[in-house]
Amino acid sequence: MSSTSQKHKHFVAEPMGEKCVTTLPGIGAAHGKRLEEKGFGKAYDVLGQFLVLKRDEKLCRDWLKDICGANVKQQAERRRISSP
């Protein structure tokens, strides 16, 4: 079992609200900029896309790779916040 990152702990410590996409675990400045350029500037935008993809983790990983080049480790970090 992977340990939870400090960024993940901070992200889930309070409601999502208007958090910037770069507050998502696994999404740094470079990937955040690419996401923002594609219209996904807020964390809730990425969550919304996950829901549009019917919570299918593989589709979401593929989407993240296509839209911002996120690698497997970064995708796994993001996946932790969307898991029940």
> How many domains does the chain fold into?
1
Model pTM above 0.85: no
- Mean of the per-residue pLDDT values for the chain? 86
Q: Over 60: is that where the pLDDT of 17 sits?
A: yes
Nearest to 79 by CA among 59, 39, 19: 59
Look at residue 10 and tell me if it is in a domain: yes
CA 70 – CA 31 distance, rounded (Å): 7
Does residue 47 sit within a domain? yes
CATH number of the domain residue 12 falls in: 1.10.150.40
Mean pLDDT value of segment 37-55: 96
Stretch among 1-15, 32-46, 62-76 having the lowest mean pLDDT: 62-76
Q: Which domain holds residue 30?
A: 6-82
Q: In the predicted model, is pLDDT for residue 34 greater than 90?
A: yes
Chain position carrying tokens 């589709």: 59
Q: On the CB side of 33, how many CA atoms lie within 13 Å of its CA?
A: 2
Residue 4 has a pLDDT of 77
Beta bridge partners of 42: 20
Total number of residues shown for the chain: 84
* Residue 1, domain member (yes or no): no
